[in-house]
Every structure is written in C-alpha cells, then in structure tokens.
Amino acid sequence: MSHPHSGGRLVLFGYAAAVIAFSLWLSAPSGAEPSGPAAPALIPLGPQESAPREPLYPQWWGPAPEIPAQIPCKEPGSCLKCHEQHATMDPSHAFSCKQCHGGNPVADDREQAHDGLIADPGGFDSVERTCGKCHPEEARRVKRSSMALAPRMINHARFAFHGQENPASRHATVALESLRQIPHPSESSNLGDDLLRRSCLRCHLHTKGSARWGEHRGLGCSACHSPFPNSQDGKPRPHAIVRSAGMTSCLKCHNSNHVGADFVGLFEKDFDRGFRSPFVNGKQTPRIYGAEHHRLASDIHFRAGMSCVDCHTLDEIHGTGELPQSPYSGVKVTCEGCHVKGDHPAVMKGHDGALVLIRGADRRIPLWKGDSAPHSVQAHRDRLRCSACHALWSFQDYGLHLMLEERADYWKWATTATQNDPQAQAILEQNVGTEVDALPPQTGAMPAKPVNEWTLPRTKDWLSGESRPGAWFRGYTTRRWERPPLGIDHKGKIAVMRPMYQYVVSHVDAQDNLLLDREIPTMGSGKPALVWNPYGPHTISRMGRQCHECHGDPKAVGLGEGFRSQKKPGFKPIWAPEEKIPGRHFRWDALVDEEGNPLQFSTHPSAGPLDAATMKRLLNPPDAHRALWHKYLKGDKTDP
C-alpha cells in the first residue's frame, strides 16, 4: 500500500545501503570485525540512549509562552508533602489548591487527601466548578465549540461511509441539544462509526488524547492554557495557566499531514521503513507526533514570527456559543481581511496609517498591489482564492487504505510501524518491538515478545474508554506534495483541492474470516467515497505560482500528472490506473476527465472539480495570456 513519492527515493537508497552493510556484517565469520574504519552502531539503541530530539524538533514552535514570575499558592495545606514542585503558580491563579483541585488539603492520608480530587481542573466534567467560576462565558462557549464537538470531521466521515445521506451536522463527540453522540458500534453496523471512535477522535477536548512525544496536553481548557512543550516526560512547564501556549499547543492535535503541520513545514514521511531515515549517529531517528517528517518550506507568516492566534480569532477557537451546524469550515479568516481591507479583528492602523498586527509592535502588514501582472487579471481577482496561487505545496495523500485487523498478525504490519495511530503503534511496539521495525525478521532479529505469546489486538474507544477487539491499521497508495490541483469551493472560488477520504476498507476477524476486501464505501449521495475537498494550505509564500503552473498544466485542472500536446490533442497520464481494487478502474490523482466529467467527488456541498469551460481556458492559454506572461518574464515581477 506504499509506493515511492516525492522526496522518498534518496531516503530509500540510504536505507538500502544500511541494510546491505548490516547483511554483510551478519554474514561475516563468527567473531570477525568489519574491515576499514570503526563500524557504526547499526542496531538502534534503547530509549535511554536515544538520539537528542531538540535539534530536530524545538521545545516550542515559535516563542515560548509568556509566564509571569510565580508566587506561592495560598493555603496549600498538606498537599506540598507530595507535590512540592507545585508550590507556586502564576500570580493570576495562585489560589489555594482546593479551589481548583478539590480534595481534602488538611488530610495526611493520601486516599483521604484525594477524596473528591479534580486532577485536571480544565476538564469539562468539572469546568463549571473550576475555570468557569471566573470565566463562565468562555467555559460555556468552548464546550459548544468545534474543538470540543468535532462535528465536521464526524459528519463528513459518516457521510463518506454511507452513515447519513448528507454531511449536515447531526452527530458530535457528545450529545448536546440537537447534536447526538456518534453511534456506538453496538447500535450501528457502519464501520465508519467504529473507525471514528477508535482511530480518529483522539483530538477533541473531552479527551487528553495521545501520550506520544509532542502530543501531551491537558483536558478541556487545559489543552490550550497549560504550557506543555515538546518534552519527553509529558509534563507542563511550569505549573501555570497562560493566556496562550502558542503554536505548540495547536500542534498537539493539528499534526500528521493535517492543517497546522504544514504551517511549520512538516510533511509526514510514508509509513514503510524504506522511506524512513534509518539512523542518526548510529541510532534510530526520533519521531515526534508518531512519525518522521520531511522538512519542507514553512509558511511565510510562521517565518515572520506569527502564530496561529494571530489569524484565528477567539470566535473560531472558543466558538461563538452557537452549536456548529454548517457542513463547511467555521474559519472566517481571509487574506483580504489583512492585506486588502484591513478589517480583520487582529489588525489596526498604526500611527502612520499603515496596517499593523495588534499582537506585537511595528509588525507592519504588506498590502496587496493590484498593478502586478497576476493581480491585474480580473478573473484572478474575482474567482481565485489567494492560496490557489500563493500556496507553495499542499498535502496530497492518495488512497487511504484502512484495515480492521482482529488477528495477531503483527509481522505484516511491523514494517509500517510509523502509521501514526498511537494505539496501533503501541501494539506493534509491545509485540514486535522497535528494532524489528528497522530490521526484517529474516535477519534473525528477535521480537519484543515471543510470537507464541502475542495476544489478539484490542484498542479503546476514545469516547467511551472501553476496549474492543481489533485495531485499525492504515497505509496510503502514495504521498506527494508538489503543484496542488485546483477545483471549486462551495462559494464558487477556485481553490486548492486535496484528496481527503479516498477510503479503501478491509476487515478480517479473529477467526481469519475476510469480512471486507478492499472495498470503497458508497457515500450517502450514492457516489463512491473517492473524496477531494477544498483546502487552504498553510504554506503561503510571498511569490505566487508561475503562470505556466496553472495555464496549460493538466495537473492544475484536475487531470492528474501527465502530458498534453498542443499539436496533437489528448492527455497522456503518467500514473497507471488502480487495478488492485475489485470492480474499480481509475487513477487516484484524476479528479475529472478531459470533457469535464467528475471522476471523484467532494463532501462539501456545491464544491468539486473545475467546470469544463474553465478547464478549457486553462488548458488552452490565449495569446493575451502569452503576452502577459512575456511581460512578466521581461521584468514586471511586482510582488503582491
């Protein structure tokens, strides 16, 4: 399920060299040493000797949170006998321990002291008695927010799995007024519900989520307002509540080739070990967020020192107090709000009339210039999302293969142990081990646990906490990032399109019964779940795409990678059609055919591929376009 992708071949060659070297060492006579310089330690070392992580991934993405000098907490009682490190707090929250954490601070017995304990005061089960005492409106709004309820993820995925006839918000992580909780598998025969509950929904605010390096965080309010760095011990730094923990808190959830990771330039490497960097200084490379990453160009706003909250307002983060009902993104931020109109809530006019960011003195905002060659085209101004031109790259993960495996068949998955499901990763590490992830069993490497002691997989439901038989394993057909394809969003604007729910589902039970074999679900609309959705890549650059990257480019219009001759009409694709899925014959990267007929679809109502007329204009640039392009090449390269 994994094939070479952009940037993967050099890594593969490096891995092959390491494996060949190790094989030669294994084949040497007993006691023999490899000749030449001292041989590197090819076998990865244990966790206590792991490679340093900070040089590859920072403790904090962007500036560390601003934390005032701490002062002693009031009336700590006997709590400090065990929690001396928590004796101080930021000045705004240095209350008595009991005020936030409950319990009995005068008891000497641990069990009595913890009677009624609130371990994380930010959790929604207790927020009205803790954070909500001082911040009642914020507590009310965030419990009704998208980050707490995840309605779009849930309902779009359920629609793609034929769990409902449209993607309107009907279900959420918890039942709240008109929203019902996503059905329990005992009430639903739809595998999409089980996939969501056990594999996808670890990042809502009702759960602490994964405990992997980089993903430690608190519950509810604490998820964003307790400063958890990218630390291995998973503890906050320090005992404090901050106004904003910055981008580091955002990336606790917004990683793994989802919006946010691209902002700082992270692209998750393919799962197969052949695409991984095999060793760093003789040791296995570190994996933040459960994966290794290609380090690509980050967003210009990140490079300018901005963070997520510079654009995304509290109405988006905390919610407005209204239940999120729209099937579309709740993001209200536009590029024009800062760079054209100046009406974004984070923007103000400086003393000289220039637009500046409210957060930070003298952070001047460059203004859109309508006299540059690309901006002078009326069709660009009327129809293009800014990111359609200014996104350097976008996630293009084609063919999401999902398998619900109820057997203890772990050798099969050992080579894809970085597949970024924390529960699947834990099962493989406990049974196969991390060394076998780097070395195939034919070399004689021993698994962490003898094969005859392997137990059937069980994974927990992120909503109920119960465990059920089986684990969801995954892989992709191929993963790419360059030259994003274009389509139409729900507002009729030309936008970057991204493959989102190209599901291929298999299911094998513990008795080796094949219940599903490479099946593409049928969506609630009756169309196959080969889904592309409009996407706003967070990879913005100062310079936009060059004209020929859209005009005359088959991939830009959604035909996929290939060639198209002006003299001999007809498109010649590079990618071969998918032929391993029963009853299907299609190309993963083809959103539309040459006549403009959709081949894949969107879960966003009214969104989809470019219309036939727009495709024709883009594929056959007129003389006026050539003249404008010539003018641009001659020197009119005025930046926006």
Tell me the pLDDT tens digit for each residue of 366-387. 888 888 888 888 889 999 999 9
What's the gap between Cα 141 and its chain centre? 24
What's the gap between Cα 224 and its chain centre? 17
Tell me the pLDDT tens digit for each residue of 196-237. 999 999 999 999 989 999 999 999 999 999 999 998 888 888
Higher pLDDT, 280 or 560: 560
Provide the 10 A C-beta neighbour count for residue 34: 12
Backbone angles phi, psi at 546, to 5 degrees: -75, 155
DSSP state for residue 85 in the 8-state scheme: G
Tell me the pLDDT tens digit for each residue of 400-427. 999 999 999 998 898 888 888 999 999 9
Higher pLDDT, 123 or 547: 123
pLDDT score at 418: 85
pLDDT score at 45: 40
Using CA atoms, how far apart are residues 196 and 182, in angstroms rounded to an integer?
A: 9
Using CA atoms, how far apart are residues 533 and 6, in angstroms rounded to an integer?
A: 22
Whether residue 35 is predicted with pLDDT greater than 60 in this model: the reply is: no
Whether residue 639 is predicted with pLDDT greater than 90 in this model: the reply is: no
Cα Rg, the chain, nearest whole Å: 26
pLDDT score at 29: 33
Q: 308-316 contacts: CB < 8 A, separation 24 or more?
A: 308/246, 308/247, 308/250, 308/260, 308/263, 309/244, 309/246, 309/359, 310/346, 310/357, 310/359, 311/338, 311/344, 311/346, 313/345, 313/346
627 — pLDDT class (breaks 50, 70, 90) = confident
SS3 202: coil
pLDDT score at 278: 65
Query: pTM for the complete prediction?
Result: 0.87
Whether residue 239 is predicted with pLDDT greater than 50 in this model: the reply is: yes
- What is the DSSP track for 152-189? HHHHHHHHHTTSSSS--S-EESS-BTTBEEPPPTTT--
pLDDT score at 50: 47
Express the helix, strand and coil content of the chain in percent, nearest 5 each.
Answer: 25, 15, 60
Using CA atoms, how far apart are residues 550 and 538, in angstroms rounded to an integer?
A: 19
SS3 356: strand
pLDDT score at 32: 35
Using CA atoms, how far apart are residues 16 and 466, in angstroms rounded to an integer?
A: 42
Q: What would the two tokens of residue 336 be?
A: 């024009």
What's the gap between Cα 129 and its chain centre? 33
Tell me the pLDDT tens digit for each residue of 161-190. 999 999 999 999 999 999 999 999 999 889
High-pLDDT (> 70) share of the chain, %: 85
55 — pLDDT class (breaks 50, 70, 90) = low
Tell me the pLDDT tens digit for each residue of 290-319. 988 999 999 999 998 899 988 998 888 999
Q: What is the mean pLDDT of the chain?
A: 85
Q: CA dist 56 to 51, 268, 338, 372, 435, Å?
A: 10, 14, 32, 39, 21
pLDDT score at 102: 94
Tell me the pLDDT tens digit for each residue of 589-613. 999 999 999 999 999 999 999 999 9
pLDDT score at 538: 96
pLDDT score at 353: 79
Tell me the pLDDT tens digit for each residue of 452-481. 999 999 999 999 999 999 999 999 999 999
Provide the 10 A C-beta neighbour count for residue 30: 4
Provide the 10 A C-beta neighbour count for residue 427: 24
